């Protein structure tokens, strides 16, 4: 039986969700990494039917501030799935994850909404990790884009007849991520449209070997990251849509840096096994880039998304 509206009215939660980088080179639609760059969301359930959304930072003045807002849609989806009446909502979003640049901004918005629903429904409905991933994947379409945002660290995601699954792995402390963010954006749907329906058998074998090696490199042997991030399944096919991304990735790799396209691009992820190597990579891009790119010296996020009741300090983790 659904609880009455009064069960959630007056509740307030704070949600924090990390940026992510999917694919990581060879791990197309499978591997993802959570990064220490966070969107924060404040959500309050109110006793009216209104939805009020304030957006600060990235997306301010651009993203919808009504029921069509992606975060609101994710909250509504979770409430509907569990048969709970949706209260009025007041959202304040403080966004820092760049939009349209391959750092998981849409996945973060979806995860923010699902986690907000988890917090608002605490004690009424128990939304466990499996349900969180299923709800987020149903909206996003690909579990590799939401699994690292939900759970942190390095995630392997796959789909079974029972639904999406994931395995979280802890990344070696020697891995130092660096992200280069351009001023221009890239459409994920456009990037996917450039993928062929089939690939050569040899390329498939190549990527299977590199994906396996990449897991080992990230959790145990960072010195193998350059070889482990080689790819023949997706980056070359998308190169024509992101010429400068492709040129800079090629240049960085020629200088020994494990550079890949972050998600659908156009941002670039460099996985270093030495923090000082990140500085060298940043210098190379500053010297050779034809347009402005912002270097972000980040860490791997190991916690994933959290939701905290407004007056309580300890988080209800995913």
pLDDT given at position 19 = 98
The structure's pTM equals 0.93
pLDDT given at position 194 = 65
Q: Cβ neighbours of residue 205 under 8 Å, at least 6 residues apart?
A: none
Pairing relation of β-strands 293-297 and 259-261?
unpaired
In the block, residue with structure tokens 């509907």: 80
Tell me the CATH number for domain 176-297.
Answer: 3.30.70.890
CA distances from residue 244 to 133, 163, 231, 233 in whole angstroms, order as listed:
34, 38, 18, 19
Residue 239 structure tokens: 């190169």
Binding site for ATP: residue ranges?
98-108
CA distances from residue 188 to 29, 225, 251, 262 in whole angstroms, order as listed:
13, 25, 24, 11
pLDDT given at position 235 = 85
Q: Cβ neighbours of residue 114 under 8 Å, at least 6 residues apart?
A: 74, 75, 77, 78, 127, 132, 135, 136, 150
Using only C-alpha atoms, the chain has a radius of gyration, in whole angstroms, of 20
Binding site: residue ranges?
98-108
CB 65 within 8 A of CB 106: no
Averaged in consecutive runs of 10 residues, what is the pLDDT profile of the chain (318 residues)?
A: 68 98 95 98 94 97 96 98 96 97 97 98 96 97 95 97 97 97 79 71 91 98 97 83 94 98 95 93 96 97 96 56
Domain ranges for the chain, please list them.
5-169+301-317, 176-297
5-169+301-317 has which fold? Answer: Ribosomal Protein S5; domain 2 (3.30.230)
pLDDT given at position 71 = 98
Residue 123 structure tokens: 């004690």
pLDDT given at position 199 = 80
pLDDT given at position 312 = 44
pLDDT given at position 313 = 44
């Amino acid at each position: 039986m659904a609880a009455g509206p009064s069960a959630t009215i007056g509740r307030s939660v704070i949600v924090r969700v990390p940026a992510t980088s999917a694919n990581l080179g060879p791990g197309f639609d499978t591997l993802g990494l959570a990064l220490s760059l966070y969107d924060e969301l404040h959500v309050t359930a109110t006793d009216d039917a209104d939805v009020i959304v304030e957006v600060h930072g990235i997306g301010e003045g651009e993203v919808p501030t009504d029921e069509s807002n992606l975060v609101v849609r994710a909250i509504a989806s979770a409430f509907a799935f569990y048969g709970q009446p949706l209260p009025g909502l007041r959202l304040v979003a403080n966004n820092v994850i760049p939009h349209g640049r391959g750092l998981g901004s849409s996945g973060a918005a979806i995860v923010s909404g699902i986690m907000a629903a988890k917090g608002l429904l605490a004690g009424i409905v128990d939304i466990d990790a499996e349900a969180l991933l299923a709800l987020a994947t149903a909206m996003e379409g690909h579990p590799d884009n939401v699994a690292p945002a939900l759970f942190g660290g390095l995630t392997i995601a796959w789909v079974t007849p029972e639904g999406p699954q994931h395995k979280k792995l802890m990344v070696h402390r020697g891995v130092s991520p660096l992200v280069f963010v351009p001023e221009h954006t890239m459409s994920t749907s456009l990037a996917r449209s450039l993928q062929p329906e089939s690939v050569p058998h040899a390329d498939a074998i190549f990527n299977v070997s590199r994906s396996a090696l990449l897991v080992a490199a990230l959790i145990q042997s960072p010195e193998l990251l350059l070889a482990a991030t080689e790819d023949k399944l997706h980056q070359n096919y998308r190169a024509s849509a992101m010429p400068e991304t492709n040129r800079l990735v090629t240049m960085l790799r020629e200088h020994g840096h494990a550079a890949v396209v972050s998600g659908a691009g156009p941002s670039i992820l460099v996985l270093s096994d030495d923090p000082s190597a990140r500085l060298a990579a940043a210098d190379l891009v500053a010297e050779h880039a034809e347009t402005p790119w912002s270097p972000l010296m980040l860490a791997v996020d190991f916690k994933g998304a959290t939701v905290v009741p407004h007056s309580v300090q300890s988080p209800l983790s995913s």
